[in-house]
Structure 1
Amino acid sequence: MSERMPRAGAGSAASGSFDLVVRGERVLVDGEFTPAEIGVRDGVIGAVAPLGAGLAGGAAAGTARTLELAPDEVLIPGLVDTHVHVNEPGRTEWEGFASATRAAAAGGVTTIVDMPLNSIPPTTSVAALEVKRAAAAGRVFVDVGFWGGVVPGNEADLEPLVAAGVFGFKCFLVHSGVDEFPAVTADELEAAMSVLAGAGDSLLIVHAEDAALIDAAPHPHSREYADFLASRPREAEGAAVSAVIERAQRTGARAHILHLSSADALDRIATAKQHGVRVTVETCPHYLVLTADDVATGATEFKCCPPIREPGNRDALWQGLEAGIIDFVVSDHSPAPAALKFAGDGDFAEAWGGIASLQLGLPLVWTEARRRGIRLERVVEWMSDAPARRVGLTTKGRIAEGMAADFAVFAPEATFTVDAAALEHRHPVTPYDGRELTGVVRGAHLAGVATDRSRPRGRLLLRAQSEDGRSDEA
């Protein structure tokens, strides 16, 4: 079943019985951890009260569930990951809805938005969207929305996809890696922006690398990471980011830069924002945690596009996050079977590019943020509220009355060592295997009910539109 998201505040009530009451010394409310009690009714937060207020189930019912946080635990909103490649149908052997959403729930992610590739068919028409929804129905453990795709020749499909409830549209300015989802030119990008600016003010999200500069770079068969890094130069990313900004400024469309890896583009993004261009940008845990120095010869589990870059670049990305130039952090979870990830016996030109990290995002980013003296409150903002707001998930990402009762229980000082074989995603391949991380997700609640790896209770979400046809995004 697909559902349009209710508006924030719908169904809010601070009196009466509750289905669930959560109590703890550290609950994230209005950007600060505070002692609080949360009352949940029908999957919605009905009350946020000071700890000791005595929220409980009604006297008649007497059956309210309670959750008492342990002294080392905090309650945060469920994370929202708007960049996930599920790959089902068509490449379910890479990843599927059941395995991906189990991994999400285990990582405290209660909402994902699925990319239009690498599934077959790609989500470039309403018919293809319905095929994907049918594949997901009854198999998701968290809430799932869907991106549409922009490819050459599908301009007439964009408005119908908006009406069908996609959360926006993805395109590539360079080869996507799969032939059934071809790249667009800058002119085709602009044409799509013009359509989307008038079609519910829908959002265009862009894989920004310049195809001509990528083609002109050397592409040797090599087990050396430096050779692969040279094949995806930061100049290609910068040129494509500039093209997106220019076309967004010209059309007035909403645009979003995916998985920024090169800090060289930060100044032009900041300038564009200052001039009112409606552009936002994300980065990913692998660019914030890993550096080129971490990648051993033949270690193709680290391969992704755009690539993981040098330590100084990583530091600059963190500075961009703290300054608000980069808006949020999402996973770009893109797994593949070991045979593809290690194709060519460590040849970076042959191996599939993509990082599997959906279950690990919060501890990865928190471990590095904590080392840099950045508060957990900011990390949660970057990984929950900010992505939810950008894509129009108006009831997700915050603990407040009227919001969805999606929570994660997190122990920010606990530590663990990553065991790839114990992760929930389909294949035991990740560059983080054996890494010690700080922060343990001890549970998640979706619509006020604890997630259970044997019961797929997630909903398929539709992008809500306001009465004037424009997006709900603030």
Structure 2
Amino acid sequence: MTDLVLRSRRVVLPDGERPATVHVRDGRIAAVTDYGDEGTDVPALLPGMVDTHVHVNEPGRTEWEGFATATRAAAAGGVTTIIDMPLNSIPATVSVEALTVKRTAAEAARPPVDVGFWGGAVPGNAPDLPALHEAGVFGFKCFLIDSGVPEFPPLDRSELDRALSTVDALFIVHAEDPAEVVEPGTTRRFTDFVASRPVEAETRAVATAIEAARRHGARVHILHLSAAAALPLIAAAQRDGLRVTAETCPHYLTLDAADVPDGATEYKCCPPIRDAANREALWRGLSAGTISCVVSDHSPCTPDLKVGDFSTAWGGIASVQLGLPLVWTAARERAFPLSDVVRWLATAPADLVGLTHKGRIAVGADADLVAFDPDGSFEVDPARLHHRHPVTPYAGARLSGTVRSTWVRGVPAAPGTGRLITRETLR
């Protein structure tokens, strides 16, 4: 007996897309058979997306976002697993005690999707990293530039070296070099803001992270790559056998700095959205495999922090609900198949953090599934977004692909269907 049977002429499997029937038993995929078997038909069946870059902000800044709202938005967007970033919450997740506080908050929210946690590497907490890793965080985030919040200061090069030499873990790096960043001054022009954080800020910091990985044999992941000029550095490191990977985000793949209106601070993020030529080079980096993951960098705040000018507005875009249709819309325009989108948004992020039983439709994997209509379309209505504050640069955009249903371990996503997960594979 199976708990759930779904079939589609477009099932995205590890070996490509084909007609199939997926059988679920006890929360896992029990069998994948021919399409002719009986089951509930869906337009396309995908594994649940895995978003490894989400700022939930609870506790401490729950007025910005919280576990209940962030995970509800995730489920609505076909995301069945999120990994929460260690900063913007208070306390930041830089110790076992802080992790306990955050896990308590997440559990109380009864999330509909699975939730894991990153730890943070900040000046002075290197001695805390082994215990925090043992407690189950998926790795450690660090900044090479001011993070924007005082409780999560950046690492200098010596502190980065110390962190990498303290624990054999995945380090995820916000790579911008402060020496290349200038204050934009009071300005409503997006071009001024972009100029204040030039591509050189990213390339220099990426080089710093790569050389640290080389010195220590460490595993380093470059976060939210915006500057395509850094791609040759990353590709060379990968050819040299270094454990270096990279991600980018939907906003860098879909938006063009030239289209951002004056004063439209909802487009502000760090590093910034760049021009169309840079965007297309990022797509080539994805196609080549230099960039492996596409994740949201969901970073909301209260609406009052998004007003004003580009020098003072909070830098972050909230898009955990929209990542799948955003990337599918742009990928289809460039003739990429749906299987590529699944690899970038589900399989590769799951593999990055060692969740090899997620992000794929395969026997034995968790039955985290998404019924997706690739030919459907919708207009982004902020009022229909589930994150806490409906501020978005995508308001009014027409996107392809609609999420029909989301299942977590074979059960429709609803409050309480998610679990708190740790670096140890959840079985």
Asked whether the equivalents of residues 196 and 253 of structure 1 are also in contact (C-alpha less than 8 Å), the reply is no
Show the counterpart of 1:121. Answer: 91
Does structure 1 residue 134 correspond to structure 2 residue 104?
A: yes
Show the counterpart of 2:226. Answer: 261
Show the counterpart of 1:409. Answer: 371
Show the counterpart of 1:206. Answer: 173
Q: 1:418 aligns with which of 366, 380, 401?
A: 380
Deviations 1:42-68 (A, max 9, x none): 1111111112245xxxxxxxxxxx532
Name the count of aligned residue pairs: 426
Show the counterpart of 1:284. Answer: 249
Show the counterpart of 2:285. Answer: 320
Per the alignment, in what secondary structure is the counterpart of residue 21 of structure 1?
strand
Asked whether the equivalents of residues 409 and 443 of structure 1 are also in contact (C-alpha less than 8 Å), the reply is yes
Matches of 1:310 and 1:31 in 2, distance apart?
34
Q: 1:241 aligns with which of 199, 203, 206?
A: 206
Does structure 1 residue 67 correspond to structure 2 residue 40?
A: yes
Matches of 1:419 and 1:293 in 2, distance apart?
23
Deviations 1:339-362 (A, max 9, x none): 0011x2xx1001000001110001
Show the counterpart of 1:161. Answer: 132
Asked whether the equivalents of residues 395 and 404 of structure 1 are also in contact (C-alpha less than 8 Å), the reply is yes
Matches of 1:81 and 1:386 in 2, distance apart?
10
Does structure 1 residue 192 correspond to structure 2 residue 152?
A: no
Within a 5 Å distance, the mapping from 1:143-154 to structure 2 comes to 143-154=114-125
Per the alignment, in what secondary structure is the counterpart of residue 220 of structure 1?
coil
Asked whether the equivalents of residues 289 and 364 of structure 1 are also in contact (C-alpha less than 8 Å), the reply is yes
Does structure 1 residue 178 correspond to structure 2 residue 162?
A: no
Show the counterpart of 1:226. Answer: 191
Task: Among all aligned residue pairs of Structure 1 and Structure 2, give the percentage whose two residues are the same amino acid.
Answer: 60
Matches of 1:156 and 1:464 in 2, distance apart?
21
Q: 2:52 aligns with which of 63, 79, 82?
A: 82
Asked whether the equivalents of residues 246 and 293 of structure 2 are also in contact (C-alpha less than 8 Å), the reply is yes
Superposed structure 1 runs of 4+ greater than 2 Å apart: none
Unaligned regions of 5+ residues in structure 1, if any? 1-16, 55-65, 467-474
Q: TM-score, normalised by structure 1?
A: 0.88
Matches of 1:33 and 1:399 in 2, distance apart?
11
Asked whether the equivalents of residues 28 and 76 of structure 1 are also in contact (C-alpha less than 8 Å), the reply is yes
- Structure 1 residue 144 displacement after superposition: 0.3
- Structure 1 residue 159 displacement after superposition: 0.4
Matches of 1:320 and 1:174 in 2, distance apart?
24
The two structures, once aligned, show a CA RMSD in angstroms of: 1.3
Which letter does structure 1 place at the counterpart of 2:91?
A: P
Asked whether the equivalents of residues 218 and 230 of structure 1 are also in contact (C-alpha less than 8 Å), the reply is no
Asked whether the equivalents of residues 411 and 417 of structure 2 are also in contact (C-alpha less than 8 Å), the reply is no
> Which structure's CA Rg is the greater one?
1
Show the counterpart of 2:19. Answer: 35
- Structure 1 residue 30 displacement after superposition: 2.3
- Structure 1 residue 457 displacement after superposition: 1.6
Show the counterpart of 1:339. Answer: 304
Deviations 1:9-59 (A, max 9, x none): xxxxxxxx11111122221122322121111111111111112245xxxxx
Per the alignment, in what secondary structure is the counterpart of residue 344 of structure 2?
helix
Show the counterpart of 1:353. Answer: 315
- Structure 1 residue 465 displacement after superposition: 7.2
- Structure 1 residue 138 displacement after superposition: 3.8
Per the alignment, in what secondary structure is the counterpart of residue 374 of structure 1?
coil
Deviations 1:249-286 (A, max 9, x none): 11001000000000000011100100011000000000
Unaligned regions of 5+ residues in structure 2, if any? none
Show the counterpart of 1:463. Answer: 423
Matches of 1:458 and 1:88 in 2, distance apart?
17
Matches of 1:337 and 1:260 in 2, distance apart?
25
Per the alignment, in what secondary structure is the counterpart of residue 34 of structure 1?
strand
Per the alignment, in what secondary structure is the counterpart of residue 246 of structure 2?
strand
Matches of 2:207 and 2:336 in 1, distance apart?
30
Which letter does structure 1 place at the counterpart of 2:411?
A: V
